[in-house]
Amino acid sequence: MANIVLVIHFAVVLFITAGLPLIVLGAALRWRWIRERRWRLLHLVATAFVAAESLVGIACPLTVLEDALRGSQGRTGFVERWIERLIFFDLPPRVFIVAYTFYAILVALTWIGIPVDASRHKAPGTH
């Protein structure tokens, strides 16, 4: 179960970190899906949640769950070691607070610079 949580955690990290560059790239390339309200809102909320966690000083619930599931076991699997190396860094907490908050502000600013599609109804056959 802990490995499943780790993979989910990796997917969330990937969604959050890749989201902003995809929004900017998608705007430049006129990708319509980057203006979808639900996708953008989910990205903004996930990013803001991570920033809020760091500001309040609480650990990510996925990290806490994974640690609880692992108990005293070490991470010994190949995939687990590489995912862990990609998403966990040993830096002072203030570095993460600044980085997460700055990133959340950038994501929020995309709602102004690259607004979502405000239309509720789309023409048939459009995506």
What is the tens place of the pLDDT at every residue in 99-119? Answer: 899 999 999 999 999 999 877
Does the residue 127 lie in any domain?
no
Distance CA 52, CA 100 (A): 8
**Reduced to 3 states, what is the DSSP secondary structure of residue 77?**
coil
pLDDT, tens only, 14-65: 999 999 999 999 999 999 999 999 999 999 999 999 999 989 988 888 888 8
Does the residue 123 lie in any domain?
no
Which residue range is the domain that position 41 belongs to? Answer: 2-113
Does the residue 87 lie in any domain?
yes
State the total domains in the chain: 1
Does the residue 103 lie in any domain?
yes
Q: Where are the alpha helices (DSSP H) in 30-77?
A: 37-56, 61-70
Closest C-alpha among 11, 10, 36 to residue 23: 36
Distance CA 20, CA 16 (A): 7
Does the residue 125 lie in any domain?
no
Does the residue 120 lie in any domain?
no
**Chain CA centroid to CA 87, Å:** 11
Does the residue 118 lie in any domain?
no
| pTM, 2 dp | 0.78
